Structure 1
Amino acid sequence: MLSCSAGATAGFSAKLIPQLQHDMGKHKYSTEMVSWVAAMASLALFFGNMISGYLMERLGRRASQILLSIFYIGGWTTIAFAGNIYFILLGRFITGFCQGWLGPLGPVFVGEISSPAYRGLFLAGLSLSIAIGVFMSHLFGTFVHWSHASLLCGMFPLIGCIVLYYAPESPSWLASKNQIDKCIESFNWYRGTSPAMKTELDKMLVDLSKKKVTKGKIETLSANIKKPEFWKPLCIMMIFFVITQLSGINVICAYTTDIMEELMGNKKYVDAVMLGTDILRCIALVIACILLRKIGRRPLAIFSGSLTSISLIILAIYLYLVKEHMIKHLSPVISLGLMGFYIAVSNLGIAPLPWNMVGEVFATETKGLASGISVMMTSIAFFGTVKTAPAMFESIGFHGTYLFYGLSTLLGTIFLYFCLPETRGKTLLQIEEHFRKPEKERNTQANETLLTDCKVHIPA
């Protein structure tokens, strides 16, 4: 429910801005002022990221999310009862702040309470929830006034708050605070009491007992900055998040109406096409949830990144040929088909995977800090892409903007091919061990295990 609210925050401006522009004659809002309606939420993401890591370590994952939901309800209520555009901007800032707060917190919580077999499915479910939130905000804005739509969006964090009130705290966090009895009770509630689960619980408690509890971000950063299990996944995730934003996926959410109008050549059926693309995004993410269990993270990232870059480059070339009159008429079937293909393939991997993996790749003692830094990078990139998109559309055209996004995604996919590890089916401790040990040592250990197995099967 909180992720649905995050999606509604990202998609709300697509219907809010046209309604405000329609009222310009009455209220006389400047174009620059209205443009900040879309960018304000993404600007606030950074500040939410800054406190997220601290609060999730200080208060716990569950309590931090309950507090977050209260702020989220306040933000949506502020927008609903705003008497002028300044209160709308204030409400957008609060909801964007909460979206940034949730960024590292949600994946960390889900990653800690789910088993390796289902962790990928549940983490991908966060991205699906965001897509559903985008769709619902567009649906609300299509049929009701933005103030009423805001109140409806505020129901998401309200329901989330109620659910979290009755849910236990993360067992990993309880163990890190030496609350062993509560940790065991929580672990059993979330994961059951099978032998495999009991073994994982024992390993987690033993591993955490060996580590010293750090007191603050600076001390944690100083103690872990040279550890490969800290800086290796941190660098990978920071770049992965930037790649996702440079693919333009959130620009589509924020300026859906303008983009669809450009691709269709007229305003007719824009709302229907917008809702259709939202449904397509949700379907693609449902498929991604299934594929993540069967295929894994790394192959899906490379597959999705390659097709995303190809679709954007082809769309850019097509729009350029139309602009230069090498193609006589803009065909909505071709342009919308390419856009639909882009939305589908990008949401199969590039869009959900960073949020999926940020809850997996970091060690428990640095998870709050490292996930906060990682998501902070996507917040900066989010703001940059959303705020500069209108200027890019105007200066280099839609075709030039799509070409830039396509080439950026292509370069990012090449990076992921060489650097992104596979985490499917591995426990959090196994993933941490992967980054801790050098590649040569991992290969040597694997070879020794293979030789041992061979000796066991050789008859005397």
Structure 2
Amino acid sequence: MPDDKVDSDFIDYVEPEESHSVSTLRKSISQYCAVLIASLLAITYGFSVGFTIIITHQLQNDTRITHVTDSQITWIGSMNYFSTPLGAMAGGALAQRLGRRNTLLLLTIPYFISWMLISYSSTVNEILIAFIVIGTAGGIVDPTLQVYATEISESRLRGEISCFITTTIMFGVFLQTIVGMFVDWRNLAMFCGLAPAFGLLLIGFVPESPYWLASKGRLGDARQALCRLRGWTTPQMVRHEYDQILQSTVDLNSSYKPPFFSKEHFKRMSRPAVRLPFILVSFAFFVSCFNGTTSILTYALDTFELLESPINIHTATIIFTGLQMLGSILLFFIVPKTGKRWPTFVSLIVAGSSFLIVSVYVFMRNQRFFKVSCNPWLKWIPLLALEISVFATTLGIETTPWILVGEVFPGDVRACATGLVTSIGFIFAAVASKIFHSMLSVLTVSGTFMFFATVNYVGLVVLYYFMPETEGRTLAEIEEHFAGKHKLDDPTTGPEGTELMPINSSHTNGTRKYADA
């Protein structure tokens, strides 16, 4: 607990009469209101993903922009992901300097300008430039929003709120496929500018992260923000949590912060409490990006056309993104009850089996084991398999790394580590999108889907043995687990829970440095 000198200004805010406790519902509403408004930029990021589905298909037949090559199409489909790491690597420093909320507010401006540039573009280069800006802004938004959500939420809501952010991204993708069915890509880009415009108007009204405010010595503002985030209550009702935040920031601020490229900083980043979760989340991102869903989503219209969908390819794509959003919504309710491990495992099994079915179907069709013309109902097999795969993937592996990234890193390197690991995730997504057409040419359609199935099954085995259950655990407990000080039992399976690394039972719990966020 911080000493009396640090917290002396709190006394003026303590009410003499006994305060009534704030209901759990009221606390939840206050936190969700803040995240909902901040998530306008998550919706914008979803717009950028969904927009590539429409523009990569429509540009092939657009006479207003001439000489569009297949290579340019793949660059448009992947440039958003390729440029995102630029923002992700800088996002941590920017969010630490300006604040989480102010960083999100600032990013609404380049987002809006870029969408207008696409809407009025006359060349492919103008579209690519706009996507570079959009991707860079997205790279800053994702880790900043995840850290913001982690720092303003109670531990009981942290998993739900992380799922909520993912759901808003999926909603953005889904909305794009619906609107894109009725308008061309230019008008669709104009529509995309609405989310950052509303964000510019509203984000300034949400509370800043109490952790960030306290780290800057703005203790009064930190206390006020915490009161708003805990149900618009009084300082007396948040006294305990406020003290924890002060202690956390005192520990962090009193410690020496070495330069980014120094040996000391490298030593901090390479300690087990950082290195092990970094490897874990990086691998989860690899599986998430190369398990098939990312590539298929980018070129959904082309993929359904390639597999001879028995229904309209736009309708199939809307169902595809709709099931993706539905999966993220269900995960919102499932994670608090089951944790993160088992939804992830089930999603990998179902997605792997679905892609295996598509692979075998295409192989047998090409080898003329059957004639689709004589059995048109067979066309439903790959369609249903793909729709099931995206639903299953969203229920687990696609969302898992984004939930973990805000939880598993220690507070003294959280912003930096989050930015670096999300950069790796976006690079994986960019490569998966860029090489998809090449994979179809080199590995054939059947071989490509067999590769996707293999990635899912390998991911299942590795994550089963190395991914711990973090749901319902404090940030301090998670850090102690990776540091080897404390065994993080899986609360859904009892005392025989899974751990990332062998931990000697003689180790005792270390002193908690970080608050229950």
Give the structure-2-normalised TM-score.
0.81
Shift of 1:446: 8.3
SS at match of 1:218: coil
User: 2-side partners of 1:319 and 1:118: how far apart?
Assistant: 44
User: 2-side partners of 1:416 and 1:441: how far apart?
Assistant: 18
User: 2-side partners of 1:361 and 1:42: how far apart?
Assistant: 24
Partner of 1:17: 56
1:270 is aligned, of 306, 313, 321, to 313
Partner of 1:105: 144
Partner of 1:458: none
Are 2:47 and 2:176, in contact at CA under 8 Å, matched by a contact in 1?
yes
For residues 420-439 of structure 1, what are the structure 2 equivalents within 5 Å?
A: 420-438=467-485, 439=487
SS at match of 1:12: helix
Are 2:74 and 2:433, in contact at CA under 8 Å, matched by a contact in 1?
no
1:295 is aligned, of 329, 338, 342, to 338
- 1:187 equivalent to 2:226? Answer yes
For residues 130-209 of structure 1, what are the structure 2 equivalents within 5 Å?
A: 130-192=169-231, 198-209=239-250
User: 1-side partners of 2:279 and 2:397: how far apart?
Assistant: 17
User: 1-side partners of 2:43 and 2:145: how far apart?
Assistant: 12
Question: Aligned in 2, Cα 1:210/1:33: closer, same or farther, shift over 3 Å?
Answer: closer
Partner of 1:379: 426
User: 2-side partners of 1:343 and 1:261: how far apart?
Assistant: 17
Partner of 1:318: 361
- 1:248 equivalent to 2:292? Answer yes
User: 1-side partners of 2:135 and 2:351: how far apart?
Assistant: 27
Q: Percent identity?
A: 26
For residues 32-47 of structure 1, what are the structure 2 equivalents within 5 Å?
A: 32-47=71-86
Residue type at the aligned position of 2:250: S
Moved more, 184-193 or 295-304: 184-193
2:400 is aligned, of 340, 350, 353, to 353
Shift of 1:353: 1.4
User: 1-side partners of 2:123 and 2:266: how far apart?
Assistant: 46
Are 2:89 and 2:416, in contact at CA under 8 Å, matched by a contact in 1?
no
Partner of 2:41: 2
> Cα RMSD over matched residues?
2.2
User: 2-side partners of 1:135 and 1:178: how far apart?
Assistant: 42
- 1:89-131 CA distances to partner (integer Å, 9 max, x unpaired)? 1111111111222221121111111111111111011111111
User: 2-side partners of 1:347 and 1:265: how far apart?
Assistant: 22
User: 1-side partners of 2:410 and 2:295: how far apart?
Assistant: 32
Give the structure-1-normalised TM-score.
0.91
- 1:241-289 CA distances to partner (integer Å, 9 max, x unpaired)? 11110112221221010111122357x6111111111111111111011
Shift of 1:223: 4.8
Residue type at the aligned position of 2:409: F
Are 1:134 and 1:253, in contact at CA under 8 Å, matched by a contact in 2?
no
Are 1:359 and 1:371, in contact at CA under 8 Å, matched by a contact in 2?
yes
Q: How many equivalent residue pairs?
A: 446
Partner of 2:326: 283
Residue type at the aligned position of 2:404: M
1:259 is aligned, of 303, 306, 314, to 303
User: 1-side partners of 2:160 and 2:46: how far apart?
Assistant: 18
Are 1:213 and 1:365, in contact at CA under 8 Å, matched by a contact in 2?
no
Question: Aligned in 2, Cα 1:176/1:363: closer, same or farther, shift over 3 Å?
Answer: farther
Residue type at the aligned position of 1:93: I
- 1:419 equivalent to 2:458? Answer no
Structure 2 unaligned residues grouped into runs of 5+: 1-39, 488-501, 510-517
Are 1:45 and 1:97, in contact at CA under 8 Å, matched by a contact in 2?
yes
